[in-house]
Chain A
Amino acid sequence: MIGLYFTLVLISVAAIIAVESRNLLISIIAFGLAGIGFSLSYILLGSWDLAVIQLGIELFLLFYLIRSTRVVSEPETNAGRQLTAYLGTIVFIVTFLGFAYLVFRTLPAVNFSAAGGGLPSLYELVGVAAALFAAVIGALTILRPEGKQ
């Protein structure tokens, strides 16, 4: 239980660093740390299969983001636009918290180490394979050299 709470704090701190850091490389590495923390929390919650999937996804995304990022420093932004963005964010957060409060009153208590699932069925595997295939085809299509005009 303490380990899970420690992991959740670690994830939150890493997520804040990932969003707030001005160096993109630090952001990406902090995001990778948060993802590995998620994988650890899934293990502590008893969902081993999702933890393995999460770990694989996180490692792939970490390499992919580091490979794709060419600009390391964050660009300077207009102060007026930044103020508008902050105001919009506050509106979104207040709206989300209002709905979250309504949902929180109906949530059941968490039963630890009972979240493990069984083996996925064939349909689920086909769905996962189709999603990955579509992603690879989409990325290759976008990143291809200029084709015939």
Chain B
Amino acid sequence: MIIYIAAVLLMLIGLYGVAAKHNLIKVAIGLMIMQYSVDLFLIALAAHRLSGREWFSQLAAVLGLSTTVVLVAVIKRNYDRSGAIDITRLTKLKG
């Protein structure tokens, strides 16, 4: 049960990083922490040999890497163009 609680705690830490931080790098780190917590949760469930969860967590880990690589590329390109890494200063797409 402690593993489940740790997974929820890490999900909350990541959620805090995504929702409360204005730095785009911090947002990316928060997203990755949330994804890792989901992996930990799936591995804890896979201990019961329930079908699919083990390989799904492998695929989820690689998909998390892929999304983070693209996200960091977007952040870097955005910084090159606007010079800002703070999401409150990125107002060109504001409706």
Where the two chains meet, the residues of A that have a C-beta atom closer than 8 Å to any C-beta of B are: 4-5, 8, 11-12, 15-16, 18-19, 24, 27-28, 31, 34-35, 38, 41-42, 45-47, 49-50, 53-54, 57, 60-61, 64-65, 68-71, 74-75, 77-78, 81-82, 85-86, 88-89, 92-93, 96-97, 100, 104, 107-112, 114-117, 120-121, 124, 127-128, 131-132, 134-136, 138-139, 142-143
Contacts and interface: CB of A to CB of B under 8 A. Distances in A.
**Interface class of chain B by DSSP:** helix
Contacts of A69: 25
Interface residues of B, number: 64
Contact of B40 (A38, A64, A82): A38
B44 A45 contact: yes
A27 B72 contact: no
A34 B48 contact: no
Contacts of A104: 4
Contacts of A31: 29, 32-33
B3 A110 contact: yes
